[in-house]
C-alpha cells in the first residue's frame, strides 16, 4: 500500500499522454449527432489515436482480474448506463446523454479523461445532472493540494451531489495512473474530510465521479462490462487526470476543446 510520486521526467510524459487523451475528445465532439452509432464513434477515435496520434487505446483488450477483455477502444455510456458501455450498433437519438471515456497510452504512460455530450437538444433533467456532475468533478479537483487528504476530495464531491438530490455511485472510483492504467490510490467520490491518503506533490490520479439522478445502486449487464443504474435513472460522469503540485493541482487532461472550469473554481 504505497503511492510513489512521479519523477519530473515521468510527469512530463504524463502531461503528453493527458493532453492526447483530451484531444481525442476534442476530435470526436463534432461527430456526436443524432443517427451516429457508438460503434462509429469508437472506430473514428481508434483511427485517430492509432493513425494520427501514434497512441495505443488502453481499453482495447484490457482485462483486469475477473473481467473478459474489453472489446473496443473507448467506452460509450448512454443515459442510464453509468460507465464501461461497449460501443456497438446503438444509434444515438436526440435527447440522449452520452459519456465518452478515452484512455491513451503514449510512450508507456496513460492519460484518462471522459466528457458528457448531449445528442441534439438536452432535456432539463439531463442538462442539470450533467452540469452538476461537472461541478462535482471540479470541486473534487479544487480540493487537491499537498497536505490535503483524499477524503477531502470525496467529501467535496458527495456534498455537492447530495445537495442537488443526486447520489454517488460507490462501486467505481478514480485511480492512480501512470505506467499502469489503474494503480494506487483508489480515489473515492464520497467520504469524510480529513481522512484517507495524505496527498504529496508528484502523485497522479483520476477524479471521475459517477452521479445518478435516482438511487446509487448499480448492476452489471450480461456483456460483463456495461454498468447501469438499478432504478434505470439517468447517470452522468466526467473525468480528468490530475497531478498534485507544490501549490495545488495541475489538470493533465486539458486541451483547446475541454470545457473550462465552472464559475467559482480557479483554473
Ligand atoms: N477509462 C475507465 C476509467 O476511467 C476504465 C475503462 S476500463 C475498460 O478508469 F476496459 F472498460 F476500458
Ligand atoms: Co479512469
Ligand atoms: Co476513463
The answer to whether residues 83 and 91 touch, using CB atoms and an 8 Å cutoff, is no
Backbone angles phi and psi of 18, in degrees to 5: -65, -45
Contacts with 149 (C-beta within 8 Å, 6 or more apart), sequence order: 193, 194, 195, 196, 197, 198, 199
What is the average pLDDT across 72-90? Answer: 99
Max intra-chain CA distance, the chain: 48
Q: What domains are defined for the chain?
A: 8-251 (3.90.230.10)
Residue with CA closest to ligand 1 atom 11 = 84
Contacts with 220 (C-beta within 8 Å, 6 or more apart), sequence order: 226, 227
Decide if pLDDT at 267 tops 70: no
Residues 253-265 have pLDDT tens digits of 999 999 999 999 8
The answer to whether residues 149 and 196 touch, using CB atoms and an 8 Å cutoff, is yes
How many whole angstroms separate alpha carbon 142 and alpha carbon 125? 26
- Note the pLDDT of residue 2: 84
Residues 142-200 have pLDDT tens digits of 999 999 999 999 999 999 999 999 999 999 999 999 999 999 999 999 999 999 999 99
Report the share of the chain in percent with pLDDT over 90: 98
Residues 89-101 have pLDDT tens digits of 999 999 999 999 9
The secondary structure of residue 60, as a DSSP letter, is T
The residue to mutate among 75, 227, 241, having the most atoms of ligand 1 within 8 angstroms of its beta carbon, is 75
Q: Which residues surround ligand 2, an ion (CB under 5 A)?
A: 112, 206
Residue 41: in which H helix or E strand, if any?
helix 38-47
The answer to whether residues 242 and 117 touch, using CB atoms and an 8 Å cutoff, is no
**Confidence label for 1 from pLDDT (cuts 50, 70 and 90):** low
- Note the pLDDT of residue 142: 98
Residue with CA closest to ligand 1 atom 10 = 59
DSSP string, 133-164: HHHHHHHHHHT-STT-BHHHHHHHHHHHHHHT
Q: Is 118 helix (H, G, I), strand (E, B) or coil?
A: strand
Amino acid at each position: 500500500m504505497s503511492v510513489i510520486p512521479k519523477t519530473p521526467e515521468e510527469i512530463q510524459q504524463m502531461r503528453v499522454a493527458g493532453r492526447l487523451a483530451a484531444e481525442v475528445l476534442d476530435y470526436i465532439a463534432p461527430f456526436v449527432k443524432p443517427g451516429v452509432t457508438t460503434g462509429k464513434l469508437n472506430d473514428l477515435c481508434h483511427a485517430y489515436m492509432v493513425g494520427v496520434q501514434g497512441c495505443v487505446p488502453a481499453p482495447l483488450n484490457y482485462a483486469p482480474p475477473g473481467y473478459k477483455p474489453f472489446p473496443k477502444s473507448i467506452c460509450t455510456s448512454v443515459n442510464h448506463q453509468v460507465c464501461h458501455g461497449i460501443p456497438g450498433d446503438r444509434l444515438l437519438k436526440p435527447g440522449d446523454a452520452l459519456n465518452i471515456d478515452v484512455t491513451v497510452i503514449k510512450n508507456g504512460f496513460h492519460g484518462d479523461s471522459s466528457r458528457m455530450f448531449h445528442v441534439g437538444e438536452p432535456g432539463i433533467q439531463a442538462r442539470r445532472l450533467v452540469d452538476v456532475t461537472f461541478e462535482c468533478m471540479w470541486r473534487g479537483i479544487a480540493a487537491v493540494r499537498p497536505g490535503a487528504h483524499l477524503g477531502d476530495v470525496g467529501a467535496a464531491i458527495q456534498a455537492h451531489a447530495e445537495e442537488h438530490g443526486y447520489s454517488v455511485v460507490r462501486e467505481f472510483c478514480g485511480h492512480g495512473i501512470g505506467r499502469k492504467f489503474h494503480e494506487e490510490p483508489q480515489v473515492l467520490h464520497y467520504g469524510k474530510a480529513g481522512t484517507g491518503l495524505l496527498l504529496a506533490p508528484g502523485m497522479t490520479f483520476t477524479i471521475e465521479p459517477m452521479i445518478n439522478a435516482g438511487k446509487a445502486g448499480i448492476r452489471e449487464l450480461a456483456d460483463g462490462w456495461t454498468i447501469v443504474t438499478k432504478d434505470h435513472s439517468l447517470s452522468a460522469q466526467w473525468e480528468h487526470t490530475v497531478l498534485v503540485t507544490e501549490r495545488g493541482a495541475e489538470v493533465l487532461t486539458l486541451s483547446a476543446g475541454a470545457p473550462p472550469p465552472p464559475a467559482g473554481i480557479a483554473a
